[in-house]
Chain A
Amino acid sequence: MNTFFASRPRRIAGLVVLAVVLVLAPLVSSPYINYQLSSIAVFAVAILGLNIVMGYTGQVSLGQSAFLGLGAYIAAYGVLHDWPPVLSLVLCAVIPAVVGMLVALAAARLRGLALAMITLALPIVGVPLARRLTDLTGGSQGRVVSWLRAPEATGLANDQWRYYVVVVIAVVAFALAHNLVRGRIGRSFAIVKENEAVALSMGVSPYRTKVLAFTIASLLGGVSGFMYLAVVQYTSPETLTFFTSINLVAAMVIGGSASIVGTALGAAYYVLVPVLAGQVNSSRTALISGAILLAVLFLLPAGLVSLPRRLASLLRRRPQPAAGAPTPDDATHRAPASSTATTE
């Protein structure tokens, strides 16, 4: 963690500032800014799930977009049948979690590329399914919904209300995930990632741990689907394409693998870089996004979350450029960085 926030009061102050900004931001921003902020919250939860299974547990998953899409379709189905939003939210969490668990029960026996192939199949199968099950999904034209309108009593505009809904969900998800990865389960994730034989010898079942990680990832994917529908008000087979999965994985690595703060940064990257690239030149967005991706990976291999640390180490080193060997301080800072950068 950043040294500035090492002390408790400072950390609390930081959180309070963050909370104040999160609460006040939609009140003073345009609907466009609110849409961007809400989108960041949506994809932050999807990437959070991905980070739990890939960053913390070290298993490759290329299927997150399928759970995102599944959640969005469940929510859309709920809107059409007038379910209360809370019921939709619960089902958006439970159904993808069950699907994810069933897949993981089979897939978690595999590892590495074989596992990647199984998870890859989810969006590949999901897109034609979504197109074909027209009665449930609306076919390739998708489902347009109009829901989660701001209640009159709040005096808020729709974009502000939706922002609060998704940000509250995201904050809860992040708080739960933060506690999860720091507790007993988080330690079992870490040891399964490092060495499955060691995990087994310590009484941690790698198989069960992986299934659990997948289940949580799918659950968060489904929840982010609910949020997606809340913000975009539309879902279609395009939502769950394989490209979305790949981009989510890239955003996770760029933000910072096995890092809660990095997850949020990754989501900001996912949403904002295409916008920035569009500002530069709308005809060259793919090229510009690719260049930024490479730049980040070269300069910050441990992700955006390592930026303050990286800057600090650069500043510290400048006074004594002659000192050849890295200082012990540097070495201790580097060690976690190199281990988190690997995603197998």
Chain B
Amino acid sequence: MTKTRNAARASGVVATVGIAALLVSGCTRDPATGGPGGDDSGASPGITDDSISLGISSPLSGPTAGPGSCTVAGLDAYIEAKNAAGGFEFGDGKTRQVDFTYLDDTYDPAKAVSNFRQLVNDNIFAYVGALGTPTNAAVMPIAEEEEIPQVLLTTGARTFSEDQEAHPWTTGFVPTYATEGRAFGELLANANQPLTVATLAQNDDFGQSYLDGFNEAIEGSQVEIVADATYEPTDTTLDAQVTELAASKADVLLSAVSVTPLQVGVLTKAQSLGWLPRIFLPSNTSTPGTILQPGGAAAYPGVYTPSFSKNPNSPAFAADEDVIAYNDAFTKYGSKIASTYTPHCTWSYTEGAVLDEAFQNMEKPTRESFMTALKSISGFQAPLLLDGITVDTTTNDDAAISTVQLVQYDGQAGFKPVTAY
């Protein structure tokens, strides 16, 4: 009796193991790792005669969700509007629709890698415009190894732009932080008068890049840094630092603060101490609606920020063709992804136009051809870029947009151009 039961159990065991083994070995892995490869005419994965697929992973939830959503929304608006108008024209004479997939990585590098793998598994042709330094740094080695374009990234970190020979498949889009800092420095140096500066910077390479660019520009001029302070992104208030800097009574405050609430705190604290310097803000944290108005920036004699794109909410550009097209497309497509405006929305819209330009010069449906086309754009006046700023991807040591213009807060919802200090 027990013997038969044991025998029955044993056979059950063998059967289960066998079935499991069969199930698992039933399907075999595609020999070409990284999904089905080029089948006809040597085309790269993710592109057919009438479609091409692009992917992005950005923070769509969590503390960086605002800018992150905008890097998706603006690009989506450009792509969907163009798709609806018939599609993108390519250099090989075909017209294709762009399939755009976006995923949320909450600014977590492990999730970004996971998302990148997922997108590659779903056969994307290229990975475009992702926001975030750590997330993109984690993706870069895989993109390089598998030769998948990881291009026009929305991060000002130098890593992605300064040595493109070392990583030919990765390019940055927005000006590096050093470029922004240099623009500040040049304005002060060109003023040709003794100026004192107080600096407040994030205690890491973001803050350091700003200071590096700034210091390069003021070298040998009459500008002098008389006080400096740093902060951690995890700090809850910068009152102590601002109080310390205020004691220097400097003429200018360089506030390279990347965290929105902290930047608002700096603006309110300095004026409450009766210190009203001219202030320089990074492009990341100078949105009128979320920073300048809550911070009472109108009280200062001048609030400057580097800019390269037109602000669609500013009355100065209300009649601009690009802005009208952007606003239409964004209301129709982008607004379901990002509800609040940050400049990243316009940047990523411009990025869509840069991709469009690259597609038009892309002679073969391959990733190599795409990279060649993308890296030979110069002097391209993309939509929404300020006059005088153009896209140049031909240099190997800088981002696609490598110049900025300083603009000055007009006290309301927009900016006006700056010519001299």
Q: List A residues at the B interface (Cβ < 8 Å).
A: 7, 9-10, 12-13, 16-17, 20-21, 24-25, 27-33, 35-36, 39, 124, 127-128, 131-132, 134, 139-142, 144-146, 157, 159, 228, 231-239, 243-244, 271, 274-275, 277-278, 282-287
Contacts and interface: CB of A to CB of B under 8 A. Distances in A.
Interface residues of B, number: 59
Contact of A9 (B13, B27, B102, B142): B13
B109 A142 contact: yes
Interface string B40-65: 00000000000000000000111000
24 contacts: A12-B13, A16-B13, A17-B17, A20-B24, A24-B21, A24-B24, A24-B25, A27-B28, A30-B33, A35-B117, A131-B233, A134-B204, A140-B133, A141-B157, A144-B141, A232-B109, A232-B138, A233-B138, A235-B109, A238-B107, A238-B135, A243-B62, A282-B103, A282-B104
Given A24-B21, A30-B35, A141 B104 contact: no
B192 to A, nearest CB: 36
B134 A142 contact: yes
A20 B24 CA distance: 8
B134 A141 contact: yes
A282 B102 contact: yes
A181 to B, nearest CB: 27
Given A157-B33, A238-B134, A286-B61, A32 B12 contact: no
A285 B298 CA distance: 38
Interface in B1-47: 6, 9-10, 12-13, 16-17, 20-21, 24-25, 27-30, 33-35
B234 A232 contact: no
B34 A228 contact: no
A127 B20 contact: no
Contacts of B159: 141
Interface in B160-214: 203-206
A146 B141 contact: yes
A214 B27 CA distance: 43
Q: Which 6 A-B pairs have the closest CB atoms?
A: A32-B121, A286-B61, A234-B138, A13-B13, A236-B134, A140-B204
| Listed residue (A13, A146, A234, A239) with the most chain B CB atoms within 10 angstroms of its CB | A234
Given A31-B121, A131-B233, A286-B62, 4 more contacts: A16-B17, A30-B33, A134-B205, A286-B61
B362 interface: no
Contacts of A32: 117-118, 120-121
Given A17-B16, A159-B33, A28 B137 contact: no
B110 A239 contact: yes
A233 B117 CA distance: 13
Contact of B205 (A25, A141, A244): A141
B204 A31 contact: no
B111 interface: yes
A284 B338 CA distance: 11
Contacts of B382: none
B140 interface: yes
Contacts of A244: 108
B287 interface: no
Nearest to B15: A13
Contacts of B60: 282-283, 285
Interface of B: 6, 9-10, 12-13, 16-17, 20-21, 24-25, 27-30, 33-35, 60-62, 69, 72, 102-104, 106-111, 113-115, 117-118, 120-121, 133-135, 137-138, 140-142, 145, 157, 159, 203-206, 232-234, 336-337
Nearest to B19: A17
Nearest to B9: A9
B232 A21 contact: no
A131 B204 contact: yes
Given A24-B25, A232-B113, A275-B118, A238 B206 contact: no
B25 A28 contact: yes
B104 A283 contact: yes
Nearest to B104: A285
Contacts of A128: 203, 232, 234
B282 to A, nearest CB: 15
Contacts of A20: 17, 20-21, 24
Contacts of B61: 284-287
Contacts of A239: 109-110
Contacts of A12: 13
B69 A283 contact: yes
Contacts of B115: 278
A140 B134 contact: yes
Nearest to A8: B9
B133 A25 contact: no
B10 A131 contact: no
Contact of A28 (B24, B117, B138, B234): B24
B141 to A, nearest CB: 5
Given A31-B117, A31-B121, A131 B232 contact: yes
Contacts of A25: 24
Nearest to B337: A283
Contacts of B21: 20, 24
Contacts of B30: 30
B34 to A, nearest CB: 6
A271 to B, nearest CB: 8
Contacts of B233: 131
Contact of B106 (A29, A284, A285): A285
A290 B72 CA distance: 23
A16 B117 CA distance: 30
A144 B137 contact: yes
Contact of B137 (A9, A10, A134, A141): A141
Given A21-B20, A21-B24, A238-B109, A124 B118 contact: no
B178 to A, nearest CB: 14
A140 B29 contact: no
B140 to A, nearest CB: 7
Contacts of A39: 110, 114
A78 B120 CA distance: 30
Nearest to A29: B29
Given A139-B205, A140-B134, A30 B13 contact: no
A30 B114 CA distance: 12
Q: Which of A13, A140, A271, A275 has the most CB of B within 10 A?
A: A140
Contacts of A277: 104
